[in-house]
Structure 1
């Protein structure tokens, strides 16, 4: 029986098995999706063993392996190469191909909004890790001007330069968003503004993200990719201030759907995703 899995260190926190099991139960595919704990020292032996197993179709990749897994692939999809990180490995014939589905998965809940014309698009992107790189690339190609904020603004600038993003973008210090501002934002209709947390701040076991909502223009959408907990302090503060909030399930399901199709050869049945979101909560 065909199987796929998610690998990482640790791995018990991954919600991928629950998502794929839900879709497999609604599919004609006779497949299985597992979680497998793999340390950095075990990556080479893991891929050697899986190459020899004809029933293995591939794996999703979570922390801390997104950068190092590329070395175990025969080739990379252009997007994964541009981002410099791999979070999906798929067996395609005799090859292992590395993909990055973070960017497309992130954009999925925004597609209806992005299909509309806007006077301009701006995103305040908080964080400079692997997910931030993928999201920055996706947003820049959707016409967004980015303000990339990290603890070290120099690292933010280096990320922008390394990705060679189309458009004019800016680096900032994450700390500047913790203070109240009275900046006079453009309040015209037709502006599209996002505030995105890609840092682990707000995640279980981490301190809260220091962000004052006065830095968000009117009509902004707050989007947190943290999935544990689902309802982060960042999102609660946004809703209290009257902003729309998207939680980490949005990106999680978007990237999982892309992974499912590549791993099992068919698109998942999304008609019961509301129940799946409740399960993930």
Structure 2
């Protein structure tokens, strides 16, 4: 190459998030903030993808310069069948939220939701002890499965679970084992008695959704209460628990922490989750 020839630009890694719909996602704001903070030449792009186009899109993205993507509803289960390698935790949860595209084009699927959930608790309630008493999980969807797996892995000895459709709770118990105790939805309030950790893993209480109507009369003021919903940041469920003297942790930190492992794999830098990060994402 002679001096008067323009140099070719270095490869700029691309990442993004796929789902349908996707316009509401805060992930582009989060990853864009980290890219700017660390001076990394890269881009993170939201991409609406219909289910019938999923396989075709996943095959094309590595050829377009993508190093990986996040995956949200409705594709988190379907991508497992399209991946070339699946981590044990993604297989156990039955869903993936993070894909890494290897240089040879093969797709590696992982689930970092459980990691994000525990990291959020440890950052915002550093004295939390998973073995201090039973955990109670409200909900039995995909997010709940990640929460259950992470709580059991952290050392929770008894995990109580309830869902409006009981069979979904029973399915989780069948897969995760004897430490789980299933409660009928009508008995959800009783499930909280003596619980040291209480989690709302449903979308109830989210803006535009019905409220979570679980009586908190049996809730101990010593319990740690958290909600996966972060719009609003302080849900009625958290406000009620806080009024009873409980420590509460909002759900935004889970979103932030679950994103960090993927960012590190794609862009080569472990990002910090701090107050500035929270502020940027909430703007």
Provide the TM-score with structure 2 as the length reference.
0.87
1:132 corresponds, among 135, 144, 156, to 144
267, 270, 281: which one pairs with 1:267?
Answer: 270
2:92 counterpart of 1:82:
yes
Q: Which residue in the other structure is 2:247 paired with? A: 244
Are 1:73 and 2:83 matched, yes or no? yes
Q: Does 1:93 align with 2:103?
A: yes
Three-state SS of the structure 1 residue aligned to 2:96 is: coil
Q: Write the distance in 1 (CA, Å) between the matches of 2:278 and 2:127.
A: 24
Give the aligned partner of residue 121 of structure 1.
Answer: 133
Q: 2:217 maps to which residue?
A: 214
Instruction: Name the structure 2 match of 1:189.
Output: none
- The runs of 5 or more residues in structure 2 that have no matched partner are 1-11
**Residues 119, 245 of structure 1: alpha-carbon distance in 2 compared, 3 angstrom cutoff:** closer
- How big is each residue's C-alpha offset from its partner over 1:200-235, in whole Å with a ceiling of 9 and x where there is no partner? 111122100012222322311111111222221111
Task: Give how far 1:279 is off.
Answer: 3.1
> 1:253 deviation in Å?
1.0
CA drift of 1:146 comes to 0.6
Shift of 1:116: 6.9
Corresponding position: 1:153 with 2:171: no
Long gaps (5+) in structure 1: 187-191
Pairs within 5 Å for 1:1-281: 1-53=12-64, 55-94=65-104, 95-111=106-122, 120-144=132-156, 145-162=158-175, 164-165=176-177, 168-177=179-188, 193-270=196-273, 273-281=274-282
Q: Is the 8 A contact 2:130 2:197 kept in 1?
A: no
Give the structure-1-normalised TM-score. Answer: 0.88
**Larger Cα Rg: Structure 1 or Structure 2?**
2
How many Å apart are 1:238 and its aligned residue?
A: 1.4
Q: Give the whole-Å Cα distance in 1 for the aligned partners of 2:128 and 2:251.
A: 23
In 1, are the aligned partners of 2:121 and 2:249 still within 8 Å (CA)? no
How many angstroms does 1:148 deviate by?
0.8
Greater Cα offset, 192-201 or 249-258 = 192-201
Name the CA distance, whole Å, in 2 between partners of 1:36 and 1:255. 19
Query: C-alpha separation between the residues in 1 aligned to 2:130 and 2:146?
Result: 23
